[in-house]
Amino acid sequence: MTTHVAITPAFAELVDLWAPVRQIGTGFEFTEGPIWHPKEQHLLFSDMPGDVRRRWDRSGIREVMRPANKCNGMTYDADLNLIVCEHATSTLVRERPDGRRDILASHFDGRELNSPNDVVVKSDGSIYFSDPWYGRMPVYGVERPRQLGFQGVYRIAPGGGPPQLVVERTLFEQPNGLCFSPDESLLYINDTAQHVIRVFEVGPQGTLAQGRIFASGIVSATEPGVPDGMKCDAKGNVWVCGPGGVWVYAPDGRLIGKIRIPELVGNLTWGGPDFHTLFLTATHSVYAVETKVGPRNEPYMRRDAAPRAVSVQPAASVARNGTQKAAPGYVLDPARCAVIVQDMQNDVVMDGGAFAASGSPAHCREQNAIGNAARLAAAARRLGVPVIHVWFVVEPGCPGVTMNAPLFEGLADARAMVRGTWGAAPVPGLEPEPGDHVVEKCRMSAWEGTRLETVLKALGRDIVVVTGAWTNMSIEHTARTGADKGYYMIVPEDCCSTMNAEWHTASVNYALQNVAVVTDADALLSAWG
């Protein structure tokens, strides 16, 4: 099972189906309005209930405005002025870099707007925005009566002026996200209450015509999520918030795939140096996923250069041993990672060890698991990534080890991994170095009855790279439990081994794919930069 869901094969051309979902910040009330600054290389996002705007860059997250008028959708115009939808004031404003603030729209037909929600800028400088009434509700806005009797979508002409209603008054219940097609001939607008996306032809004067349902049924009885923020990619696919994450539609309206996110997603935007990082604002967190496709070329992205094209990688690769792995090209932040070297002890994988007759030494050599794990650990230390050695160690006679499973019975019968013996010692090449951590266990999982999680929390690490032996036992158990605990688990399969290739491949393809990103040492080293 992949991280993300391909409903048609075309989806694998847009994103690696095993692409990690990185949490770049959490602890918020409800995040919204993400927008990437193309020159300063930072992300702005809002927290409406908290009434604060924040900024994220490689140095971390900080507040930039409090109160923030419970702002929602944001974008830039071609001059990199920030265009902001404000719930608390029912206005659409322009914030200039020098601090000046211009009100672009606040009323229609002499009545206050409901609460501008999302906004997009066309190449000619005109601005389109949606106006549901969420900002007149408690929590996400300021509770107060509505002055308009409908929820509309508006256009502001390139030179400014009063907002022009561009849809029929009764067409939408709660218009929300909106985005242009790459050539700006179409405008997509979704309706949160109706669970649909509508598409309109854009006329020469900016009017909308020939409206029709583009997609419907964006709702689920089992997963939270409704149509909300929405963006169009460079190929014309429409990415919209929906149940379980983000739903992606081809230009012909076919649902082709889903990005899976662990929280309800409210909005999304592309950013990063090449606009191939998809940032997602969710209930309490902000996430990022690397994609193979970038956004349609918005006006604010054109000040320097258009987002560069990248070659399409295969959705996954298949190793010589038959294991399926995530395609290379993903990115991992070393500051969030830790590497576990598990059960790489003489009794487990070395000739002459207690379990040598199982075939484990031969498979370890076939995988070059010791060499690959050592190479990975050395790189981790250079990058400041903690290396944690997890050893299965028992006292003579195995006191305290319950004989409730064949593995533990075999351990006692073989007198294996006894403290102080050669068999319990780490294999040559994977001995702990200064600064490494050592965790001892008496079960298959590295988590069970150990201090592993205490170490990870103390170090602030939530991406756990698992190496060692055996793939279908300790590695699999550790990856499963780590995923259950909320950690992002990474398994470089060529740094792992078991008794034979068949068992290794079965564990990777039928178990680990469900709970971890399966990769290899080279791809992981590249992901660390």
The torsion of the CA quartet 66, 224, 487, 376, rounded to 10 degrees, works out to -100
Catalytic-labelled residue, pool 16, 191, 228, 343? 228
Do 252 and 181 touch, CB atoms closer than 8 A?
Answer: no
DSSP output for 322-351: S-EEEPS-----GGGEEEEEES-BHHHHST
If you compute the radius of gyration of the chain from its CA atoms, what whole number of angstroms results?
Answer: 27
Residues marked as binding for substrate? 117
Residues marked as binding for a divalent metal cation? 32, 176, 228
DSSP output for 195-237: TEEEEEEEPTTS-EEEEEEEE-----SSS---S--EEEBTTS-
Instruction: State residue 230 phi and psi, 5-degree precision.
Output: -155, 140
Distances (CA, A) of 321 to 93, 325, 367, 470, 507: 58, 11, 9, 16, 12
- Number of neighbouring beta carbons within 10 Å of residue 181: 17
Quick check: bond before 67 cis, omega within 30?
yes
218 token code pair = 């964006």
Do 456 and 410 touch, CB atoms closer than 8 A?
Answer: no
In DSSP terms, which residues pair with 265 in a beta bridge?
282
HSE-CB at 66 with a 13 A cutoff on CA atoms is 9
Cα 94 from Cα 492, distance rounded (Å): 48
Cα 362 from Cα 501, distance rounded (Å): 10
The torsion of the CA quartet 414, 420, 424, 426, rounded to 10 degrees, works out to -160
Q: Is 228 a catalytic residue?
A: yes
Return the biggest CA–CA distance within the chain.
88
DSSP output for 447-495: STTSSHHHHHHHHT--EEEEEEE-IIIIIHHHHHHHHHTTPEEEEEGGG
Tell me whether residue 109 is exposed, middle or buried, using C-beta atoms within 10 angstroms of its C-beta: 0 to 12, 13 to 18, 19 or more.
exposed
Residue entry with tokens 């178990």: 511
The residues, ordered by sequence, that sit 6+ positions from 309 with a Cβ below 8 Å of its Cβ are none
3-state helix, strand, coil in the chain (%, to 5): 20, 35, 45
Residues marked as binding? 32, 117, 176, 228
Residue entry with tokens 């409800």: 30
Tell me how far apart the terminal alpha carbons of the chain are, to the nearest angstrom: 27
* Angle of CA points 402, 405, 410, to nearest 5°: 90
- Number of neighbouring beta carbons within 10 Å of residue 516: 29
State the DSSP code for 90.
T
Active site positions, annotated: 228
